[in-house]
Chains A and B, each alone.
Chain A
């Protein structure tokens, strides 16, 4: 049994709602709204104009810097608008609106067939840089940035994050089960790209079928170890994941590559495989639609830019009056005020929740029970951070209690018997300390 990380909680999983539902292909919508900024880094600059005809997989936005990700048309049709639209990544983003021509045609040359063994590392780097790849686990970090680290970084370990520790969500799980071969191919490509000989694939032990399938699939792949991880939220958080699998900790203010590690989400790995082998950029992804107020929960393969409204309607609308609609999982996701918002690359789930399923408790004073300290995987004292933030003592929160070391997993607020908004206070203190931080 693996050692686990410090702290953590066990929210009710609710994964059974969709875990065994095969991924369904959602027909392309009539219109997609594709933000040019769906990633950390520079937003893309439109490469098309209103009135242009585009094909599926065609690049439509890019930027001439390293920390960015290209954006591609997810359907074929006509560009009808380029304007500011609400986005789930930032409040607003310039977006390219494409109306479908109903043909769903690929851009010329796509899909193709390439043997990654015959490609040089430089060629692989070029391919992934233009394929629009970002972290599909929700971090939205450009994947090519990680894949193109050179020898000066001394990367010695690749970690594949297949933990999927958020309740309700099964998008990664379905990918693991249904596209096992693509995962294997993606891992081989990533290891070649980084020139590493050691790789761990970490799966939470609540997914025995995925673990079994991976162990078989990777049995003959040199250097790859599949590890069953104790199920505990937030196992999938980068720092906890690295700690459990390698015993290393990322020093405060640094990132994983500084300690010789690259971590990639399992969904991102499949996208890498598709980009390198078939030339297909990231234009669609798997989403779990779940919650107690959705009529027909599903796992759906949807095109980037599809509106949440279309997705909810495709799933039969509401079975109960929704109280909250969450983009992502219940622990870290964002509550939406309406559904006129497009799917972007980092969206892993849509949860439609009734009043009974979400927490809306009255706040009491902190009773210093210490449960949040026990739950905090970063080793903070969240109760004290929340009190200091509430009282405006932000310097103390930063210098003495390490507010910037918070990974915002929400475990503290989850366990708090006083139902204090601990995470909200912490975020507020981080905002007040902006400019002093090291992240």
Chain B
């Protein structure tokens, strides 16, 4: 058998090796992150209703529109299709109170993309997690509204006031337990998300599910959320008794409460694993996650805010380049006696 195809009629590519590559790509990664966030986002839409939906839509639209307009203005290639701006918008929304006025949400999203991402050079060049920059900007701009929690309109039994961390900080941990009836009911509410809080941070089980999906796909390392959440849990257990009106002894804090409360779950699985802004090696990522856990706990216990996840991640983003320099892998054939 002989073919009719003649080599002279075709132009051969002579690009360099390797000539085959795996089929991962940035759009694929980013849209999978969006997919992993979807269960918690859908729960939020059901649990918090229309205000949450509006917040998520506004955040995403503002983020994508900002990136698009900046790239048009700069006559650069438009990259909104890669899904990263959608991730930023959705993550920002998930960190906001459901009743925040829409224009504030838009402001946060614009700032996240404009300042934290595009001004730094675009995807891959941002030093800080853009969603958390947006949230931090809103927190310093409108602190009162950013910590106002509207009564849940779909469940008359829901706690109609501050989040569990707010209450614990101001009135003591026992008050939180009493509000829910007992510890089991508290844990159940924290785990299933039937409580007040930022839009996407309340449902622990769905956030863990999304995180496991990303671990399975190889897009995040399991060590990062485990170390960050574990650090908070251990520190809360060891030192928690000295705060929130506790008995004032070691090893009497409630680790389960602290691991599931606030923005720790969404922060650990979706922000502390943001590829661009965390260290590049697994060793560095563990150090990063540990630092996030320590700072989160410090802010919760002795800081002025009830929650510290956002700031812990931004602070550790600051030292990521340093961590990268000190955690470079040992190069083969160097660094130790290699002979025999």
- Hey, which bits of chain A sit against chain B, CB under 8 A? 6, 9, 11-12, 167, 239, 243, 248-254, 258-260, 295-296, 309, 312, 316-326, 330-339, 351, 353, 357-361, 364-371, 373-374, 376-381, 383-384, 401-402, 405, 410-411, 413-419, 421, 423-424, 427
Please state if B19 and A335 are interface contacts (CB–CB under 8 Å).
Answer: yes
CA distance A324 to B13 in the complex (A): 5
> How distant is the Cα of A254 from the Cα of B19 in the complex, in angstroms?
29
Identity of the chain B residue whose Cβ is nearest the Cβ of A358 in the assembled complex: B19
Other A-B contacts than A337-B12, A381-B280, A415-B22, 11 sampled, CB-CB below 8 A, are A249-B333, A250-B338, A251-B334, A253-B333, A259-B340, A260-B340, A322-B7, A324-B12, A365-B121, A405-B333, A405-B334
Q: Which residues of B contact A369 (CB under 8 A)?
A: 29, 219, 275
Query: A316 CA to B275 CA in the complex, in Å?
Result: 48
Q: Does A322 contact B21, Cβ atoms closer than 8 Å?
A: no
Complex: A384 Cα to B280 Cα, angstroms: 10
Complex Cα distance, B334 from A377, in Å, reads 13
Shortest Cβ distance from A328 into B: residue: B17
**In the complex where A251-B338, A373-B280 touch, is A405 in contact with B17 (Cβ < 8 A)?**
no
Closest chain A residue, CB of each to CB of B333 = A252
Nearest 3 CB-CB pairs, A to B?
A410-B18, A365-B124, A318-B5
Chain A positions within 8 Å of B285 at CB level? 370
Known A11-B22, A259-B340, A410-B18: A295·B3 in contact at CB below 8 Å: yes
Contact with A along B20-41 (1 / 0, CB 8 A): 1110111011000000000000
List B contacts of A323 (CB < 8 A).
10, 12-13
Contact A335/B15 with A167-B20, A317-B2 known, Cβ cut-off 8 Å: yes
Cα-based distance from A376 to B329 in the complex (angstroms): 10
Q: Are the CB atoms of B10 and A321 closer together than 8 Å?
A: yes
Task: Please report the number of residue pairs spanning A and B whose Cβ atoms sit closer than 8 angstroms.
Answer: 200
B253 vs chain A, min Cβ distance (A)? 34
Instruction: Give, as a whole number of angstroms, the nearest-CB distance from A318 to chain B.
Output: 4
State A4–B26 Cα separation when bound (angstroms).
29
Given A358-B19, A368-B275, A417-B28: A317 touches B3 (CB 8 Å cut-off): yes
B1 contacts A by Cβ under 8 Å: yes
Give the most central of B19, B24, B124, B279: most A CB within 10 Å: B19
State in angstroms the CA–CA spacing of A325 and B28 once bound together: 29
Contacts of A252 in B (CB 8 A): 331-334
Chain B residues, Cβ within 8 Å of A351: 19
CB pair B281–A370 under 8 Å, yes or no, is yes
Residue of B nearest to A333 (CB): B17
Instruction: Please determine whether A357 and B20 come into contact, CB atoms closer than 8 angstroms.
Output: yes
Q: Are B28 and A367 interface neighbours, CB within 8 A?
A: no
Bound Cα distance A423, B340 (Å): 31
- Contacting pair A358 B13 (CB below 8 A): yes
A359 to B125: give the CA distance in the assembly, Å.
Answer: 25
Q: Are B332 and A249 in touch, CB under 8 angstroms?
A: yes
Q: How far is the CA of A300 from the CA of B224 in the complex (A)?
A: 51
B330 is an interface residue with CB less than 8 A from chain A: yes
Q: Which residue of B lies closest to A362 (CB)?
A: B25
6 A-B Cβ contacts within 8 A? A12-B20, A317-B5, A321-B5, A324-B15, A360-B13, A364-B123
Is B114 close to A, CB under 8 A? no
Is there an interface contact between B275 and A379, defined as CB atoms closer than 8 Å? no
What is the bound-complex CA distance between A246 and B144, given in angstroms?
65
A417:B26 contact, CB within 8 angstroms:
yes
- Whether A335 touches B5, Cβ cut-off 8 Å, given contacts A260-B340, A377-B332, A381-B329, is no
> Do A320 and B19 have beta carbons less than 8 Å apart?
no
A321 surroundings in chain B (CB, below 8 A): 5, 10
Chain B residue numbers with a CB within 8 Å of A338 are 7, 12
Most buried by B among A368, A384, A410: A368
Q: What's the least CB distance linking A100 to chain B, in Å?
A: 23
Q: Evaluate whether A405 and B280 lie within 8 angstroms (CB atoms) in the complex, with A317-B3, A360-B15, A364-B26 already known.
A: no
In the bound complex, do residue B21 and residue A416 qualify as a contact, i.e. CB atoms below 8 Å apart? yes
Cβ contact within 8 Å between A415 and B24: yes
Inter-subunit contact A414/B275 (CB<8 Å): no
Residues of A within 8 A of B16 (CB): 335, 421, 423-424, 427
Task: Tell me the bound Cα distance from A353 to B18 in angstroms.
Answer: 13
Q: When chains A and B are docked, how far (Å) is the Cα of A259 from the Cα of B279?
A: 35
The interface residues of chain B lying within 8 Å CB-to-CB of A416 are 21
Cα A411 to Cα B21 with chains together (Å): 9
Residue of B nearest to A376 (CB): B329
Chain B residues with CB below 8 A from A239, complex form: 332-333
Q: Which of A251, A357, A419 lies at the interface centre, i.e. has the most chain B CB atoms within 10 A of its CB?
A: A251
